[in-house]
Amino acid sequence: MNQTSFSVSCVRVLALGLMFFLCAGHAASADNEAVLVLDYSSAMWSKIAGSPKITTLRGAIAPALKEQAGKLNLGVVAFGTAKGKACDAVETLKSTGTITPDADSKALEAANPKGSSPIASAITAAGKLLKSQTGAQSVILVAGSVDSCEADPCAAASDLKEKSPRSIVHVIGFDAEADDKLQELSCVAEQTGGVFMTAGNADELQNALQRILRLAAAGNSEDADGKPVPAFLPPIGGVGSPGGQPATSKEPGTLTLAAILAKDTQPLTSGLTWRIYDGRVYDDGSYRLLFTFHEARPTVTLTPGDYLVNSAYGRANITKRLTVWPEKRQEDVFNLNAGGLRLYATLAKQPLLSDQSLTFDIYSEETDQYGNRRKVIGGAKPGIIMRLNSGTYRVESSYGDSNAVMEADITVEAGKLTEATIDHQAGKVTFRLVQKPGGEALADTIWNIYGSDGQLVKKSGGAFPSHVLAAGNYEVKVQHKNGEFAKKFTVEAGDKKQVEVVMP
């Protein structure tokens, strides 16, 4: 059995994973430096609350810079500033130096979002801008997308930490669905002892930027109010008194952890992530993260006291409160009560295994006060095993880019792999506007497709638009130059047809 012994470092994390505070660092000083790494990929043109994400980002940075002027040296790097899949498109918008809010804000306008997301390359480039010999060094990544260049941002962060041990990478995932889409970037922060936060709107983004910039200016060693964080806080009940019970010794105890999928199953041997928090709850509702590791069966040495231990296996997880006793070896097996889900889809009973336009969204069984379900996994592909806590989930299968959507409630059983196939009743339709039957398709056309209820289903342009439509009756209206032409048509399950609209 591989055993790993850990010394306690000091990290605080808000409940729900919103904020960390690191304890090893430097006092607030202009010698401390940070490099902002900003997402300028084409993904930043997508909108949140009607505003492009890039506009929201620039607006959130300005007040944060004013607050830290004179307290922190800053550099700015942008990635995705060239069109297409340019995986070397990383541009320095500001070299590391004194913050000048107006000039620095203007520098953000020097480039615009255009291309791909070479996040790993951007982290490496940011590391080269860190020059301080004495102060704390921070890289602050604000990403609205994941790396699209087949590189590993987590490995880049690990490499930066190895070359520059004082450097810390903080990450802000900025997207309306950041908790789902950008969670994989959390390892970038974990590799260096940094903060991972998500922001789904302008207020959350501004709050995240201000908090992390304050932390960077404080040398990653003080809380948001500028108060020093002690190197180690005693557990509940005081030093050496786990659970408030008197301890006869301050000698550490040893805790071995393992996890199973269900009762009477064998312990898992891979794929686990463990997080251990100090058991004390702070006034702001936060817990202090002590460490994260990925061994299936770790052994950790801890100061006697209460701890919160979280075991995660894919999207399945469980948290338990454990007490470590002095000079005692303990072992705890976590029952994740989890299983696997693998989804497939068919079109009129014919397989759709390799179709790139097929995705699945997985929603929780519970609904909020408005009847909305929480999205557990978004954009899943067919044939992939997803690890989930046991329970019933709403699965939404989308085929194509219009109205071919099917729903099903599927139950995941603990310790079992559930496989399900959803059959789509839809067809593929290609449209052409011609001057005579069989004639050449005309360009510069706008297509509006309406369902039998008169509601707009899809709008597109071009000479040969092609869409997947749910089985049913439709009417297409075509705009070309100053004319408008219409035709009714029917789609049956499994159709692969062409709808030709002939100009009178």
Write out the DSSP string of 327-377: T-EEEEEEE--EEEEEEEEEETTEE-TT-TTEEEEEEEEEE-TTSPEEEEE
Residues 6 or more apart in contact with residue 46 via CB below 8 angstroms: 52, 53, 144, 175
Residue type, 203: D
Pick the CATH number of 251-335 from 3.90.226.30, 2.60.40.420, 2.60.40.1120, 2.20.25.10: 2.60.40.1120
What does each C-alpha distance from 126 to 131, 154, 410, 468 come to in angstroms?
Answer: 11, 14, 45, 44
Nearest-CA neighbor of 381 among 339, 329, 342?
Answer: 342
Residue 325: per-residue pLDDT: 87
Instruction: Report CA 414 to chain centroid distance, whole Å.
Output: 26
pLDDT by 10-residue block (mean), the chain, 504 residues: 27 28 38 92 89 92 88 92 83 92 87 90 93 84 90 89 87 83 83 83 87 80 38 29 41 92 93 89 75 90 89 91 88 94 92 76 84 88 92 94 94 94 94 93 94 95 94 96 93 94 92
- Residue 158 has phi, psi (to 5 degrees) of -65, -40
- Start-to-end CA distance of the chain, whole Å, equals 80
As a 3-state breakdown, the chain gives helix, strand, coil percent values, each rounded to 5, of 15, 45, 40
Q: pTM here?
A: 0.51
Domain edges within the chain: 24-217, 251-335, 338-424, 427-502
Question: What's the length of the chain?
Answer: 504
State whether residue 35 is helix, strand or coil. strand
d(C-alpha 79, C-alpha 102), whole Å: 22
CATH topology for the 338-424 domain: Immunoglobulin-like (2.60.40)
Residue 24: per-residue pLDDT: 32
> Do the two domains 251-335 and 427-502 of this chain adopt the same fold?
yes
Q: Which two tokens stand for residue 95?
A: 């070299």
- Residue 481 has phi, psi (to 5 degrees) of 55, -120
Look up tokens 């709808």; give the residue.
499
Residue 131: per-residue pLDDT: 84
What count of other Cβ atoms lies within 10 Å of the Cβ of residue 405?
Answer: 14
Nearest-CA neighbor of 166 among 117, 122, 216, 120?
Answer: 216
d(C-alpha 499, C-alpha 52), whole Å: 36
Nearest-CA neighbor of 153 among 106, 87, 219?
Answer: 87
State whether residue 404 is helix, strand or coil. coil
**CA angle at residue 201 from 104 to 125, to 5 degrees?**
40
Residue 23: per-residue pLDDT: 31
Residue 296: per-residue pLDDT: 93
d(C-alpha 155, C-alpha 119), whole Å: 11
Write out the DSSP string of 189-253: HHHHT--EEEE-SHHHHHHHHHHHHHHHHTTT-B-TTSPBPPS----TTSTT-GGG---S----E
- CATH code linked to domain 24-217: 3.40.50.410
Nearest-CA neighbor of 171 among 157, 184, 189, 154?
Answer: 189
d(C-alpha 42, C-alpha 52), whole Å: 11
State whether residue 30 is helix, strand or coil. coil
H-run or E-run covering 181: helix 178-181
Beta bridge partners of 405: 398
d(C-alpha 100, C-alpha 261), whole Å: 54
State whether residue 71 is helix, strand or coil. coil
What does each C-alpha distance from 322 to 221, 263, 273, 274, 327 come to in angstroms?
Answer: 28, 20, 17, 14, 15
- CATH code linked to domain 427-502: 2.60.40.1120
